[in-house]
Amino acid sequence: MVLSSLHPLEAQQVRSNTPSATPPPRAARPGPLVSPELLPDGGVTFRLRAPKASEVKVSGQFGPEVALTRGEQGVWSATVPTVPAGVHEYRFLVDGFAVIDPQNPAVKPQRWPNTSILHVPANPPAPWDLQEIPHGTLHEHVYKSRALDTWRRIVVYTPPGIEKAGKLPVLYLSHGYSDNEASWTVHGKAHWILDTLIHARKTKPMIVVMPDGHAIPPGASGFEEYGPANSAALCRELVEDILPLVESSYKVVTKPEGRAFAGLSMGGHHALTVALNHHDRFRWIGAFSSAPPPSQTLANGLDKPQAVNRDLRLFWVACGDKDFLFQRNREFHALLDQKGIRHEFVETPGDHSWPVWRRYLVDFTPKLFR
C-alpha cells in the first residue's frame, strides 16, 4: 500500500487501521490496604505502603512503639496482639518522620493535623462509644465576629428530644492549644458522652457549644505571653458574639444559672479566666488539666472572693498526677484556698491526654444545673 498517493486525511485513516505491535501489559495496580484492622481476638493490624522506606514504626497511646515488617510491594505491617478499649491517638514513624495513616479517614482535628484515631469499643460500651440509644444532633455555625472582626465557627450539640423540651441550659466547652472547635466531638466524643449520660438520666439534658478557642492565631511568642491575651480576646467574643448567637438561635436559659463553662489545657486557662473575671455571667466552671493564667490577670476575682463565692455554684478544678501541669494546678489550688475562694480540687491518675479529659467530662456534667 502506497500511502503517499492518498490524500493526507485518507493516509491518516489508513495508518490508524494498520495493525501495530501489542502494547506492553500494564503493571497491576496495588490492592487497597486496610489499616487499622481490628481483629476478633482483640489485636489490631497496622499497614503502610512505603516502598522506599528503610524503617517504619507505629507509635500510639495504646502502648510502646512497634516496628513494622516490610512485605511484598513495599507494604509494611505489624499486629499489636492486645489493644485496650478506648479512643487512641497514633501515627507512623517512617525513617523517623511522623505521618498519619493514609488508609484511615479518622484524623484528629487540630490546627496542625498529625494524628490518626484508633477507636476500639469496650464491652460493655464506654460512655464515649457509639450505642443504640437516642442521639442528639451536631450543628455548625459560621459567623462574623464583631469582637474580633473576622469569620469564626462554633459546633453546637443539641440533645435528643429537643423539639419537645423547654428552655435548656448550655455548657460552653473549649479545647486545648493544638486542637480546634471540632476536636471535642470528632476525637473527644463529647456528643456520644452526653447522649449516654442523658439516656441513663445521670446528666440533665443540655446544649453544648464548642467554640474555636484560638481567638488570636498562635504566633511565635510562647504561651505565657499568648495565653492571657488569647483568653481575654475569647472572653470578649464570648460575651459580644457567642452568647447572643446561641441565645437567639436556640431555646435556652438566658440567665447565669443556665450557663456553664469548661475546658481542657488552654481551654482550662479560658475556664479559670471566665471563673474569676466573668463569674457574673456563669454559675458552673470546669477546668481540666489547666494551664493556669498569671494571677495578675485574674485580680478581678482573686481580690473579690465574696463575689466569686456568691456567683459560682460549682468551681471544679481537676488534673492528673502525671500531667506536666500537675504542680502548677496544685499551686493554683493553694492560691484559691489562700484567697478564700470555694472550689473543688480533684487529683486523678493520668497525664495530659484525651483519655483523662473524656473521663473528666463524664464526671463533670452530672454536677451541672442541679
Assigned C-alpha cell, 53: 522506606
Contact by Cβ (8 Å): 118, 88: yes
Kindly give, in sequence order, each residue whose CB lies less than 8 Å from that of residue 64, ignoring residues fewer than 6 positions away.
Answer: none
Which whole-number Å values give the CA distances from 227 to 212, 272, 352, in the listed order?
14, 12, 17
Strands (E), the chain: 37-38, 44-49, 56-60, 63-67, 69-70, 75-80, 86-94, 97-99, 116-120, 137-145, 150-158, 170-174, 207-211, 259-264, 284-288, 314-320, 344-348
281 CB-contact burial (10 Å; exposed 0-12 / middle 13-18 / buried 19+): middle
Residue written as grid cell 486545648 = 176
Per DSSP, the three-state class of 32 is coil
Strand 137-145 to 150-158 pairing = antiparallel
Helices 354-364 and 190-199: crossing angle, nearest 10°?
30
Rounded CA-CA distance 80/6 in Å is 71
Residue 77's closest CA among 30, 33, 39, 29? 33
Domains defined for the chain, CATH in brackets: 37-120 (2.60.40.10), 137-367 (3.40.50.1820)
- Give, for all 370 residues of the chain, the pLDDT tens digit: 333 444 444 444 444 444 555 666 665 566 789 999 999 999 999 999 999 999 999 999 999 999 999 999 999 999 999 999 999 999 999 999 999 999 999 999 999 999 999 999 999 999 999 999 999 999 999 999 999 999 999 999 999 999 889 999 999 999 999 999 999 999 999 999 999 999 999 999 999 999 999 999 987 778 989 999 999 999 999 999 999 999 999 999 999 999 999 999 999 999 999 999 999 999 999 999 999 999 999 999 999 999 999 999 999 999 999 999 999 999 999 999 999 999 999 999 999 999 999 999 999 999 999 9
Per-residue pLDDT at 21: 59
Per-residue pLDDT at 220: 72
Kindly give, in sequence order, each residue whose CB lies less than 8 Å from that of residue 149, ignoring residues fewer than 6 positions away.
Answer: none
166 CB-contact burial (10 Å; exposed 0-12 / middle 13-18 / buried 19+): exposed
Find the Cα–Cα–Cα–Cα dihedral 92, 96, 97, 103, rounded to 10°. Answer: -20
Q: CB 57: neighbour CB atoms within 10 A?
A: 20
Helices 223-237 and 266-277: crossing angle, nearest 10°?
60
Per-residue pLDDT at 79: 97
